[in-house]
Amino acid sequence: MTLRFIDSNVFLHAFLVPRRALTEDEQFVKDEAKKIVKRVEEGEEVVTSAVHLSEVVNIVESGLGLQKSLWFLAWIVMCGNIKVCPVSLRDFEAAFPLARDNDVSVNDALAYSFMISEGVREIYSFDKHFDNFEDVKRLPNLPTTIGEKRTKA
C-alpha cells in the first residue's frame, strides 16, 4: 500500500462540528474527510508532521474544547499507523524557499518537504495549493465544481 501524507484539514473537516448548515460542496468534503479518517482508524499507514498535528489540536481545542483536543492527541499518539515527523528550525529554513517559489504557505511547504524526504508522493488534503507541486498527487480527487460556483445549464 502507498504511504500518504495526511494534511491537518482532513482531520478538521472530519471532526469539527459545523455551526451552520453546510453547502452541498462542504458536505461532500466533510464526507470524504470522514472516509479518509475511517481508513486511518482501520490501519492505513499515514505520515504527518508535528506542526500539522499542532494545527489540528489547537483548532479542535478552540472549537470543541480542551477534552476533545486531548482525546484527539491521545488517539494520534496511540495509533501505531500514524507517523509524526518532528519539525526543527532547519525544516522551516528549508521550507521557506519552497513556499516562496511555489506560492504556498510555509506549512504546506513543510508537508511537501517531509513528503519528499519520506519518499511519499501522495497527500490527503483538500488544499488545492498542493497542486502547485507537480511531483505529488493530492487526494481525494474532487469534482471540479468543488470550491467553484456552479452554473445552471
Q: Are strands 122-124 and 4-6 parallel, antiparallel or unpaired?
A: parallel
Q: Is the pLDDT of residue 149 over 90?
A: no
CB atoms within 10 A of CB 52: 26
88 confidence band (pLDDT: 50, 70, 90): very high
Confidence of residue 2 (pLDDT cuts 50, 70, 90): confident
* Three-class HEC string of 44-108: CCEEEEHHHHHHHHHHHHHHHCHHHHHHHHHHHHHCCCEEEECCCHHHHHHHHHHHHHHCCCHHH
d(CA 60, CA 81): 21
Instruction: List C-alpha distances in Å: 139 to 9, 44, 65, 130.
Output: 12, 14, 29, 10
Residues 37, 55: Cα–Cα separation, whole Å: 16
Predicted pLDDT at 152 = 37
**Would you state the pLDDT for residue 47?**
96
Question: How do residues 7-35 score in pLDDT, each as one tens digit?
Answer: 999 999 999 988 899 999 999 999 999 99
